[in-house]
Amino acid sequence: MTRPPRALVLGGSTEGFAVAERLVALGADVVTSFAGRTERRRAPAGHVRVGGFGGPDGLAAYLEAEKIAVAIDATHPFAARMKANAAEACRAAGVPLAHVERPAWAAVAGDDWREAADVSEAAAMIPATPGPCLVTVGRQELMPFTARTDLVLLLRMIDPLAAPFPHPRAEILLDRGPFSLESERALFETRIVGSVVAKNSGGAAAEAKLTVARERGLPVIMVRRPPRPEGLTFATPEAAVGWAAARIGL
C-alpha cells in the first residue's frame, strides 16, 4: 500500500490546527509539532510531536529521516527564531515550505495605541492609571514588568507560572481565548482596567480587548511584530493548504 505524502505543520496558532485538519481531510499524513511551552492545548488532527528539534540542523535531519514532503510554518507571529530555523532547515533538506501569518491588527479611529519595539520597551511605556494594567504577552516574557512596582498588574495567561511572580501588586488570571466582547467588557468593568499591553498577534480570538479599550478610551501598549519571515507566505490556512496540496499531489 502506498504511503500518503507526509506533511509537517509547525503549530502554535489557531491557523496550525486549521491547516492540519484540512490536510488530514485531503488524505495527507500530518505531523503537527509544538514547542511545548503551553501545557494545556487541544489535540490537532493527525499526529503530534512536542519539543524542540535542536536548531535548524536538527530540524533538517528530522525532515529527511521522516521523509517530509512539505512543511507549513503556522507558529505564532512572534516565534521569530522558529520561523528562521524552519526556513534554513527546509532549504537544506530540499523541502517546500510556506508560512501562514495572519494579518496584524491595525489601529482605527478612537484607538490610543502606543507602539513598542519589544516587551521590555512596552513595560517601560505603561502610563500610571487608577486601575490595573492588563498584560497579555504570555508567561514567557513577564520579567520586564517586575520593575513596574508603581503599577497594579493583571497578568493573563493560559498556564500558571512555575514560581511566584516577584511583584508586590500583581495578580495572575488564568484563562484561554477566544475571548468574547461581552466577557472582556465584564472583565474591564469589574477589575477597573486602566491600560492594556498586548503583542500584535492579530486574529479574532484576542481582539475583543482592543475593542473594549477603544470603547473606554484606554491606552494600549502594542508590541509590534518581528520582521516578516522570508519566503512564501499566506494570510489564511485555506491558501496554504491549497498550495501544499498542489505540491504533493493531493
Lowest mean pLDDT among 35-49, 102-116, 162-176, 233-247: 35-49
Higher pLDDT, 166 or 36: 166
> Do 99 and 148 share a structural domain?
no
Indicate whether 41 pLDDT > 70.
no
Residue 186 lies in a domain: yes
Taking only the tens place, the pLDDT of each residue in 43-54 is: 888 999 998 899
> What average pLDDT does the segment 101-125 reach?
96
What is the overall mean pLDDT for the chain? 93
Q: How far apart are CA 201 and CA 224, in angstroms?
A: 9
At 250, is the pLDDT very low, low, confident or very high (cuts 50, 70, 90)? confident
pLDDT digits (tens, 9 = 90+) for 195-240: 999 999 998 989 999 999 999 999 999 999 998 777 899 999 999 9
- Name the percent of the chain lying above pLDDT 90: 82
The reply to whether 194 falls in a domain is yes
Q: Are residues 86 and 126 in the same domain?
A: no
CATH number at residue 192: 3.40.50
Q: CB–CB of 145/167 below 8 Å?
A: yes
Contact in structure between 102 and 202 (CB atoms under 8 Å): yes
Q: Is the pLDDT score of 2 beyond 80?
A: no
158 inside domain: yes
Residues 49 and 134 in one domain: no
Judge whether 88 lies within some domain. yes
Looking at the structure, do residues 218 and 233 belong to the same domain, yes or no? no
Secondary structure class of 204 (helix, strand, coil): coil
Q: Does residue 127 share a domain with residue 218?
A: yes
pLDDT at 1 over 60: no
Residues 126 and 90 in one domain: no
Q: Are residues 196 and 131 in the same domain?
A: yes
Kindly state whether residue 209 falls inside one of the protein's structural domains. yes
- Do 47 and 134 fall into the same domain? no
Q: Tens of pLDDT along 72-94?
A: 999 999 999 999 999 999 999 99
pLDDT higher than threshold 70 for residue 133: yes
Is 1 inside a domain boundary? no
- Once rounded to an integer, what is the mean pLDDT over residues 126-141? 94
Q: Could you tell me if 134 and 159 lie in one domain?
A: yes
Grid coordinates of 152: 497594579
Evaluate whether 41 touches 32 at the Cβ level (below 8 Å).
Answer: no
CATH code of residue 53: 3.40.50.720
Rounded to 5°, the CA angle 230-236-240 comes to 65
Q: Which domain holds residue 31?
A: 6-103+229-248
Average pLDDT over residues 87-107: 95
Same domain for 12 and 90?
yes
Domain total of the chain:
2
The Cα 86–Cα 12 span in angstroms is 14
| C-alpha cell read off for 79 | 516565534
| Residue 162 sits in the same domain as residue 208 | yes
Binned at pLDDT 50, 70 and 90, residue 38 comes out as: low
Exposed/middle/buried for residue 105 (C-beta within 10 Å: 0-12, 13-18, 19+): buried
Q: What is the pLDDT of residues 50-72, one digit of tens each?
A: 988 999 999 999 999 999 999 99
| Range 6-31 average pLDDT | 93
Residue 142 sits in the same domain as residue 210: yes
